[in-house]
């Protein structure tokens, strides 16, 4: 639906309100999904100094594992087992991959995770094939939760929100209230000192890597049936998660949460607010001729640059605030 | 039971191609306070890091009669060597109390040091227990980092430049602290540039120059040896 001048005149009407309410809900939903991925990625980076390129690949594995497990059992079993299995794969990756190349520096570690992206990608195609698999929303959650202004809100979206918020609460309590969490927080600032106090830092690294990839797996379980489970899903999610982590500040969990929600809301609003600069100008009585370049640019809808906005935001924050929203270090 | 707590023989260490430690030899006895003196860059801090496994050591490091050379730093710490680094490495996101709890190797383990002991020794730490540690003053951070390491119940503690940048009154507190822990039977390896505190608390002193030990003796010996002081210590 292309908005006309009259839409500006009826701002505040149910149509506008509906658009805002659903954009907020969907933006939060997308943001929390991003956070499920970004939290693990930023924890791993903050502690080990390694940007795990393969993080979104573990997300994809979560979705595919959930598909296979739920085809033998049901969704609820998959919801528990798939993240555990993905976390276990993450632990193996850290223990037998990253730990061995660690002494050769961060570039070697980075390249290892980079290679892993393609290995996992090919494995997924070999095992599950090129075409999307039929990983569906479980019937018990496949209903309309509520209808507002004629638009329905599916229960599964609410479930994703619920799981994401529960996960955030669990991470928070784990980090702030437990001794393991305290050691992890300490290792975020000075891992070598944590070791010098007698704590087995390599084991903590394995634990955090497993935990982070397990969270990515959980995000895959939740998102695989909400979107589509197909071999391209890692590539479509990977870059945006990096943007979130950089924008929020590498290593900062609070920053990752803020950035996830901001980027989730910005992209969702950009898509739903179908206006262009030309519409705005028209609204104030200035017509623009679409034939010249300025006119052409002005006629591009906000929704069409919505996909670009997060990357633009990352570029801008790197220029004006290199450590991100809440990051501790510049890198 | 070996007579020495720590015995280092022919210790070498490298940063890339630069040969930082070129055969360091020294000993620390049980309950003894030993100072490692010398100008900046002669390898005193590297000696601590090599013992701690933070820099790869080449040579012999015997602790309590057993070799610890080549162990990972957490293993060295668990053998009973405590390390207080020069840059303090306070965990900035943690409170004072949490920093102290980080020092304990296990929760609830019976150790010679508890939170209460730390608070009694330095009441300021108790007052600021729930404050984020990066908000503490330099002196408070130094006390915190020393107590944090003590929480791990070390048999020997290596303290690197504890008085750097501190006011004279606090320096004297640090000196009292070192004497107090040595009284409890903990050996101390003190790395210092400030001669006065080293002379006051040490049983023996070593002077380092160019990655080697160039002098060994009592504080009185060093006091008497003008040429060593002039050549290796005075700036």
pLDDT 10s per residue in chain B (235 long)? 567 999 999 999 999 889 999 999 999 999 999 999 999 889 999 999 999 999 999 999 999 999 999 999 999 999 999 999 999 999 988 999 999 999 988 766 666 778 888 888 888 899 999 999 999 998 899 999 999 999 999 999 999 999 988 888 889 989 999 999 999 899 999 999 888 999 999 999 999 999 999 999 999 999 999 899 888 888 7
Q: Which two tokens stand for residue B142?
A: 């130094």
Residues of B in contact with A182 (CB under 8 A): 94, 98, 101-102
Domain span at residue A234? Answer: 5-148+162-320
Residues B49, B65: Cα–Cα separation, whole Å: 20
> Are B62 and B161 within one domain?
yes
A302 sits in which H/E element: helix A302-305
Position A5 pLDDT exceeds 50? no
Pairs of residues, one from chain A and one from chain B, whose beta carbons lie less than 8 Å apart: 63
Structure-model confidence comparison of residues A90 and A9, the more confident one: A90
Residue of A nearest to B152 (CA): A197
Q: Per the structure, how many domains does chain B have?
A: 2
| A182 in contact with B, Cβ within 8 Å | yes
CATH number, domain containing residue A125: 1.10.3470
Is position A179 within any domain?
yes
The pLDDT value recorded for residue B231 is 87
Structure-model confidence comparison of residues B58 and A320, the more confident one: B58
Q: How far apart are the CA of A51 and the nearest CA of chain B, in angstroms?
A: 22
Residues of A in contact with B73 (CB under 8 A): 192, 195-196, 201
pLDDT band at A208, cuts 50/70/90?
Answer: very high
> Are B54 and B162 within one domain?
yes
Position A8 pLDDT exceeds 50? no
Residues A181, B91: Cα–Cα separation, whole Å: 13
Encode pLDDT of A66-85 as tens digits.
999 999 999 999 999 999 99
Residue of B nearest to A200 (CA): B74
| A198 in contact with B, Cβ within 8 Å | yes
Residues A13, A260: Cα–Cα separation, whole Å: 29
Q: How far apart are the CA of B221 and the nearest CA of chain A, in angstroms?
A: 34
Instruction: Name the residue among A179, A185, A196 with its Cβ closest to that of B73.
Output: A196
Please state the φ and ψ torsions of residue B184, each to the nearest 5 degrees.
-80, 5
| A193 in contact with B, Cβ within 8 Å | yes
Find residue A60's DSSP bridge partners. Answer: none
The pLDDT value recorded for residue A309 is 86
Whether B202 and B175 have beta carbons less than 8 Å apart is answered as no
Q: How far apart are the CA of B46 and the nearest CA of chain A, in angstroms?
A: 14
Half-sphere exposure for A72 (CA within 13 Å, toward CB): 9
Encode pLDDT of A163-205 as tens digits.
999 998 999 899 889 999 999 989 888 989 999 999 999 999 9
> Are B124 and B182 within one domain?
no
Which of B95, B128, B149 delimits the end of a domain?
A: B149
Task: Say what angle helices A201-224 and A179-189 make with each other, to 10 degrees.
Answer: 100
CB A197 to CB B102 under 8 A? yes
**Best CA proximity match to A148, nearest among A3, A265, A23, A7:** A23
- Mean pLDDT confidence for A318-324: 87
The pLDDT value recorded for residue A119 is 96
Cα A313 from chain centroid (whole Å): 16
Structure-model confidence comparison of residues A312 and B1, the more confident one: A312
> Are B165 and B110 within one domain?
no
> Are B99 and B132 within one domain?
yes
- Mean pLDDT confidence for A84-91: 97
Instruction: Name the residue among A183, A192, A201 with its Cβ closest to that of B102.
Output: A183
Q: How far apart are the CA of B232 and the nearest CA of chain A, in angstroms?
A: 30
Position A7 pLDDT exceeds 50? no
pLDDT band at A276, cuts 50/70/90?
Answer: low
Position A1 pLDDT exceeds 60? no
Position A19 pLDDT exceeds 90? no
Is position A325 within any domain?
no
Q: How far apart are the CA of A176 and the nearest CA of chain B, in angstroms?
A: 10
- Kindly write down the DSSP assignment for every residue of A175-202, as one continuous string: HHHSHHHHHHHHHHH-HHHHHHTT--HH
Instruction: Name the residue among B76, B83, B94 with its Cβ closest to that of A185.
Output: B94
Residues A82, A68: Cα–Cα separation, whole Å: 9
A151 sits in which H/E element: strand A151-154
Residues A176, A316: Cα–Cα separation, whole Å: 32
CB A196 to CB B103 under 8 A? no
Angle at B85 between CA B84 and CA B90, to 5 degrees: 85
Domain span at residue B218? Answer: 4-80+154-233
Whether B79 and B6 have beta carbons less than 8 Å apart is answered as no
Q: Per the structure, how many domains does chain A have?
A: 1
Residues B63, B1: Cα–Cα separation, whole Å: 11
Q: What b/e string do you get for A51-79 counting C-beta neighbours within 10 Å, with b at 16 or more?
A: bbbbbbbbbbbbbbbbbbbbeeeebeebb
- Give the CA radius of gyration of chain B: 17
Instruction: Name the residue among B92, B103, B107 with its Cβ closest to that of A197.
Output: B103
| A200 in contact with B, Cβ within 8 Å | yes
The pLDDT value recorded for residue A4 is 44
The pLDDT value recorded for residue A279 is 66
Question: Other CB atoms closer than 10 Å to residue B111's CB: what's the count?
Answer: 16
The pLDDT value recorded for residue A280 is 64
Q: First CA to last CA across chain B, in angstroms?
A: 41
Residues A149, A164: Cα–Cα separation, whole Å: 26
**Best CA proximity match to B40, nearest among B201, B160, B146:** B160
**Best CA proximity match to A36, nearest among A248, A256, A326, A183:** A256
Residues A319, A16: Cα–Cα separation, whole Å: 35
Give how far Cα B38 sits from Cα of B27, B124, B203, B226, Å: 17, 32, 17, 14
Q: Which two tokens stand for residue B32?
A: 């003894």
Q: Which two tokens stand for residue A15?
A: 């149509």
Which of B149, B183, B200 delimits the end of a domain?
A: B149
- Best mutation target among B45, B50, B88, B91 (most A Cβ atoms within 10 Å) is B91
Q: In which residue are the tokens 């790395």 written?
A: B191
| A181 in contact with B, Cβ within 8 Å | no
Position A48 pLDDT exceeds 90? no
Instruction: Name the residue among A190, A195, A200 with its Cβ closest to that of B91.
Output: A190
Sign of CA dihedral B101, B103, B109, B112: negative
Instruction: Name the residue among A185, A192, A201 with its Cβ closest to that of B93.
Output: A185
Query: Percentage of chain A with pLDDT > 90?
Result: 54
pLDDT band at A253, cuts 50/70/90?
Answer: confident
Structure-model confidence comparison of residues B123 and A284, the more confident one: B123
Position A150 pLDDT exceeds 70? yes
Instruction: Name the residue among A186, A196, A202 with its Cβ closest to that of B91.
Output: A186
Position A12 pLDDT exceeds 60? no
Kindly give the pairing relationship between strand B212-217 and strand B204-209. antiparallel
> Are B11 and B63 within one domain?
yes
Residues A136, A114: Cα–Cα separation, whole Å: 30
CB B78 to CB A183 under 8 A? no
Residues A261, A322: Cα–Cα separation, whole Å: 20
> Are B40 and B145 within one domain?
no
Give how far Cα A153 sits from Cα of A30, A146, A164, A229, B219, Å: 14, 5, 17, 22, 80
Residues of A in contact with B152 (CB under 8 A): 197-198
CB B72 to CB A179 under 8 A? no
| B214 in contact with A, Cβ within 8 Å | no
Is position A312 within any domain?
yes
- Of A20-34, A115-129, A276-290, the range with the lowest mean pLDDT is A276-290
CB B73 to CB A186 under 8 A? no
Residues of B in contact with A185 (CB under 8 A): 91, 93-94
Which of B149, B165, B193 delimits the end of a domain?
A: B149
Residues of B in contact with A189 (CB under 8 A): 89, 91-93
Structure-model confidence comparison of residues A328 and A23, the more confident one: A23
Is position A153 within any domain?
no
**Best CA proximity match to A218, nearest among A89, A51, A124, A80:** A80
Residues of A in contact with B78 (CB under 8 A): 198
CB A193 to CB B98 under 8 A? no
> Are B141 and B162 within one domain?
no
Task: Say what angle helices B96-103 and A179-189 make with each other, to 10 degrees.
Answer: 100
| CB proximity list for A122: less than 8 A, separation 6 or greater | none
């Amino acid at each position: 639906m292309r908005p006309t001048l009259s839409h500006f005149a009826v701002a505040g009407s149910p149509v506008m309100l509906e658009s805002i309410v659903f954009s907020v809900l969907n933006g939060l939903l997308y943001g929390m999904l991003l956070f499920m991925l970004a939290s693990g990625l930023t924890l791993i980076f903050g502690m080990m100094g390694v940007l795990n390129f393969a993080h979104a690949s573990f997300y994809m594995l979560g979705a595919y594992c959930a598909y296979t497990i739920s085809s033998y059992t049901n969704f609820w079993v998959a919801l528990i087992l798939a993240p555990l299995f993905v976390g276990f794969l993450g632990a193996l990756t850290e223990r037998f991959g990253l730990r061995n190349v660690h002494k050769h520096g961060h570039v070697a570690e980075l390249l290892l995770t980079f290679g892993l992206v393609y290995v996992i990608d090919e494995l997924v195609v070999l095992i599950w094939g090129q075409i999307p698999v039929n990983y569906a929303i479980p019937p018990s959650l496949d209903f309309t939760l509520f209808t507002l202004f004629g638009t329905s809100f599916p229960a599964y979206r609410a479930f994703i929100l619920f799981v994401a918020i529960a996960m955030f609460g669990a991470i928070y309590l784990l980090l702030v209230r437990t001794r393991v969490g305290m050691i992890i927080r300490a290792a975020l600032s000075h891992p070598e000192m944590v070791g010098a106090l007698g704590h087995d830092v390599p084991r903590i690294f394995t634990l955090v890597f497993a935990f982070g990839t397990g969270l990515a797996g959980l995000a895959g379980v939740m998102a695989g049936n909400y979107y589509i489970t197909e071999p391209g899903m890692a590539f479509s999610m990977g870059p945006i998660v990096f943007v979130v982590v950089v924008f929020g500040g590498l290593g900062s969990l609070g920053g990752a949460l803020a950035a996830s929600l901001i980027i989730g809301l910005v992209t969702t609003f950009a898509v739903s607010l179908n206006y262009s600069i030309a519409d705005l100008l028209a609204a104030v009585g200035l017509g623009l001729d679409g034939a010249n370049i300025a006119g052409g640019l002005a006629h591009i809808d906000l929704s069409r640059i919505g996909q670009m906005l997060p990357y633009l935001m990352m570029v801008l924050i790197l220029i004006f605030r290199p450590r991100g929203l809440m990051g501790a270090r510049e890198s | 039971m070996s007579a020495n707590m720590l015995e280092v023989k022919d210790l070498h260490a490298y940063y890339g191609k630069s040969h930082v430690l070129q055969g360091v030899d020294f000993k620390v006895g049980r309950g003894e306070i030993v100072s490692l003196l010398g100008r900046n860059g002669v390898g005193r801090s590297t000696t601590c890091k090599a013992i701690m496994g933070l820099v790869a050591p080449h040579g012999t490091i015997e602790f309590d009669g057993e070799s610890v050379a080549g162990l990972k730093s957490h293993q060295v710490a668990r053998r009973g060597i405590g390390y207080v680094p020069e840059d303090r490495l306070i965990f900035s996101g943690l409170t004072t109390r949490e920093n102290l709890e980080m020092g304990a190797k296990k929760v609830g383990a019976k150790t010679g040091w508890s939170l209460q002991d730390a608070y009694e020794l330095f009441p300021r730490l108790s007052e600021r227990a729930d404050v984020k540690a990066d908000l503490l003053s330099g002196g408070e951070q130094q006390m915190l980092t020393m107590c944090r390491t003590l929480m791990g119940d070390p048999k020997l503690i290596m303290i690197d430049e504890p008085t750097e940048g501190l006011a004279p009154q606090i320096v004297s507190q640090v000196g009292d602290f070192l004497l107090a822990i040595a009284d409890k039977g903990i050996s101390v390896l003190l790395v210092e540039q400030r001669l006065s505190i080293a002379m006051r608390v040490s049983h023996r002193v070593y002077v380092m120059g160019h990655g080697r030990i160039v002098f060994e003796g009592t504080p009185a010996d060093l006091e008497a040896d003008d040429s060593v002081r002039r050549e290796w210590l005075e700036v």
